[in-house]
Structure 1
Amino acid sequence: MTPAEIERSRFNMIEQQIRPWDVLDAAVLELLGQVRREQFAPTALRGLAFMDTEVPLRTPHDEALRQGHCMLAPRVEARSVQDLKLQKTDRVLEIGTGSGYSAALMASLAASVLTLEIEAALAETARANLREAGIANAEVRHADGAQGAPADGPFDAILLSGSVAAVPPALLQQLKPGGRLFAIVGNEPMMRAQVITRVGEGRFETASPWDAIVPRLQNFPEPSPFQF
């Protein structure tokens, strides 16, 4: 693609996919035009970066998508970041780094981002992507994020970049008072975005603003298939 074609594709992504999904925050929309999403996609798949689809981050592609090793669709990543309502002073935890694109968006809005990736090769690629994008306040850590990062908390915001059957209570305890956690919760064919806010000691409020089906994060508990 020529530079002009790339910029036209970026414009169409924002105007035709992301705005219609109620992503209307001016700061988020500005970032979507500045952070070069295509640079976070594998070189051979950069043509998919602006499409309304998940982009596999390794081969074989079908296995990568099954295991959640992918960039989520642009509208999902943008709406997830918007719904956290990040402030310049926020410390953010992300679980499921993937390409590093969501971390780049959040690092541009917040004070710092710690992002955890269970796959070592993806973690290393995400570090390189963030360096290339000039993002200095996001740390990529090769780690299983199912229990969060309690030694590094508490956090103002936590983003789960993938779906879970349920949000583990251990993650909620890593929120500061007033902190927000975003996750996509449920099982196919019904998953809902949840924004959970810590409103007091042991007290949380949950909003479920929209539906989306996205791949699972690894190592999070699944409900038993057996019912008695």
Structure 2
Amino acid sequence: MVPTGEDLVRAVRAAGIGDERLLDAVRATPREGFVPPDARADAYHDVPVPIGHGQVTTQPSLSAMMIDSLGLGGTEHVLEIGTGLGFQTALLARLAAGVVTVERVPDLAHRARRNLARQGVRNVELRVGDGSGGVPERAPYDAILVSAAFPDVPAPLVEQLRLGGRLVQPIGPGGREQVVCFARTPTGLERRRLVTPASFVRLRGRYGFPT
């Protein structure tokens, strides 16, 4: 039997996600429109998909767990670091007022922009560049999602998160991480909870690992 979007919804629900807005976003976002043509057979399996340039998509249930930790209500201004081909970006766009997303690899950014346009996602501002420094001119952000690993949260991202805002990032060397949810307090970041163990590519840039 050929898997469908409902199979992804079931996988996300099995990962512990009960937020119906998030489940509806997964249901309404066709993942086949955000993977390479030769990977469409795997689009509705809950697995990462290679997208070139040494990158893979985030497993859908893992994306959902990270997004769920942000506690989005629909009015938020969100920063995403690591656009990939745009599937996670599209989910964020359905759940927030607007998304600023940064992709380091120009080819991936071009493909993501095309994918988002084809799906009619218009509340996304996609930048090409070094995501480790965030996008200060569009700050402050209510929530920040980082889809690459580094042992610490880069200082510019902390500064760009509003007081009370949440940030989710894989903390580790790349390849074996703890995905952690933080909240911004008057004294800096406060660790709120461990979301899940996972494996991510490294965050590269001025405030990450050397490119």
- Normalized against structure 2, the TM-score is what? 0.91
- Which of residues 141, 146, 169 is equivalent to 2:132? 146
Q: Contact 1:41/1:55 (CA < 8 Å) preserved in 2?
A: yes
Q: Distance in 1 between matches of 2:87 and 2:34?
A: 6
Partner of 2:189: 204
Does residue 75 (structure 1) correspond to residue 61 (structure 2)? The answer is yes
Paired position in structure 2 for 1:186: 172
Residue 226 of structure 1 corresponds to which residue in structure 2?
A: none
Please say if 1:13 is aligned against 2:8: yes
In the alignment, structure 1 residue 221 sits paired with structure 2 residue 197: no
Residues 1:91 and 2:77 are matched in the alignment? yes
Structure 1 partner of 2:36? 42
Q: Is the 8 A contact 1:193 1:208 kept in 2?
A: yes
Residues 19-55 of structure 1 deviation map (CA, whole Å, 9 limit, x = unaligned) = 2211111100111111111110011111122223221
Residue deviations 1:139-181 (CA, integer Å, cap 9, x gap): 1111111111112101001110122222112211111111111
RMSD of the alignment, in Å? 1.8
State the Cα deviation string for residues 180-207 of structure 1 (Å, max 9, x = none). 11101113664111111113x2233212
The aligned amino acid for 2:190 is: E
- Consecutive unaligned residues of structure 1, counting only runs of 5 or more, are 59-63, 224-228
The secondary structure found in structure 1 opposite 2:197 is: coil
- C-alpha contact (below 8 Å) 1:155/1:179 kept by paired residues: yes
- The code of the aligned residue for 2:71 comes to K
Q: Is the 8 A contact 2:48 2:58 kept in 1?
A: yes
Aligned to 2:208, the other structure's residue is in SS state coil
Provide Cα deviations, 1:45-96, integer angstroms capped at 9, x if missing partner. Answer: 11122223221112xxxxx3xx3x2211111111111111112221011111
Distance 1:221 1:162, change over 3 A: closer
In 2, the alpha carbon distance for the partners of 1:20 and 1:159 equals 22
Structure 2 residue aligned with 1:51: 45
> What is the SS of the residue equivalent to 2:149?
strand
In the alignment, residue 44 of structure 2 is paired with which amino acid? F
Q: Is the 8 A contact 2:83 2:109 kept in 1?
A: yes
Paired residues, what number? Answer: 208
Secondary structure of the 2:120 match is: coil
1:87-126 pair list within 5 angstroms: 87-126=73-112
Which one-letter code corresponds to 2:188 in the other structure? R
Structure 2 equivalent of residue 174 of structure 1: 160
- Distance (Å, rounded) in 1 between the aligned partners of 2:25 and 2:175: 32
